Amino acid sequence: MLMEITIRWSGCMKRSYDKGITWTAREQLPPGILGPIKNKPILLENGVLLCGSSVESWNSWGAWMEVTSDSGRSWRKFGPIYMKNRSLSVIQPVPYQTANGNLRVLLRSFTGIGSICMSESTDGGHNWSFAVPTNLPNPNSGNMAELHALPVTSAQAEKTDLTTKIPNFKRLIFEYVTLSIGIDGVKLRDGRLLLVYNTVSRGVLKVGLSLDDGDSWQDVMTLEDEPENEFSYPAVIEASDGSIHITYTYKRKQIKEIGMDGYIFLSILCADNIHYYADK
């Protein structure tokens, strides 16, 4: 028996007119518009809000851009963004604008690709190049369940405790597969590009910096280094005072936040063979 489980979701939006202190009621996004998936959108100088969106199912990983120029009252969708000749390719775009005005996205990649991927648009986000691997690793993690189930005996089902966890699946057991790991980044006001990502597993979380819009990278800080644990799904912003704030899943139990002066990364880049560890 082969069973397909389809992941379904929809997008909603709230508005704040007092810098996030209070929020309006939830607004449902139009059909086919999901909003930014995992990572934050970016606001361009022309007032366009660019949202990196994606979908993941048992037979397709793909991304696209959702764009609004009137504060979410109407939407346009551009893409898809994917790797050539691969239906299972990339999700969760990290959008940013380059020094020459082009738009780029860094993307989480599917199992076996092994690298963070990149796609570029030269026309304001309407058309996108095929996603291609970068030299940044996007390692696989072995604790995600595949979206298929296989037939087993009742004894095997009882042994795996599925009768209590999933009562309707007494004769089914999930295979486990390796999936890649989420990333996030931000273009700093001084033009540097900052990325938070796992390098070898979910147990090692680092900060990388690029001075050339993502063409080359340098690891500048280790946030976590415990291979037996998990530190995953990072998010990063630059605050109005120039400070950097990073949050991520901490050992699957809590959300951890690290704040730091953004100028520390500039001094790190000026020093040779120095690697900094974040305070615990």
pLDDT tens sequence for the chain (280 residues): 344 444 577 899 999 999 999 999 999 999 999 999 999 999 999 999 999 999 988 788 999 999 999 999 999 999 999 999 998 999 999 999 999 999 999 999 998 898 999 999 999 999 999 999 999 999 865 444 444 444 444 454 455 554 445 444 444 444 444 566 899 999 999 999 999 999 888 999 999 999 999 999 999 999 999 999 999 999 999 999 999 999 999 999 999 999 988 766 655 554 444 444 455 4
Q: What is the dihedral of CA 268, 274, 278, 280, to 10 degrees?
A: -160
Phi, psi of 268, deg, nearest 5: -65, -45
Q: Are 223 and 205 in contact (CB under 8 A)?
A: yes
Side chain identity, residue 71: S
- SS3 (DSSP) at 165: helix
Burial class (CB in 10 A: 0-12, 13-18, 19+), 31: exposed
CA-nearest of 110, 120, 113, 116 to 146 is 110
Residue corresponding to tokens 């795996």: 160
How many CB atoms are located within 10 Å of the residue 63 CB? 26
Per-residue confidence (pLDDT) for residue 177, from 0 to 100: 47
Give pLDDT, residue 56: 85
Q: Give burial (CB, 10 Å; 0-12/13-18/19+) of 221.
A: buried
Sign of CA dihedral 219, 220, 225, 229: negative
Question: What pLDDT score was predicted for residue 261?
Answer: 82
Q: How far is CA 76 from the centre of its chain?
A: 21
- Could you say which DSSP state residue 164 is in? H
Collapsed DSSP state (helix, strand, coil) of residue 91 = strand
User: pTM score, two decimals?
Assistant: 0.81
Would you tell me how many other CB atoms lie within 10 Å of the CB of residue 34? Answer: 17
User: For the chain, what is the radius of gyration of the CA atoms?
Assistant: 20
d(CA 102, CA 60): 27
Query: What is the three-class DSSP state of 160?
Result: coil
**Segment (H or E) for 264:** helix 264-270
Predicted local distance difference test score (pLDDT) of residue 272 = 44
Q: How far apart are the first and last CA of the chain?
A: 48
Residues 6 or more apart in contact with residue 171 via CB below 8 angstroms: 1, 151, 152, 153, 154, 157
pLDDT given for residue 265 in this prediction: 61
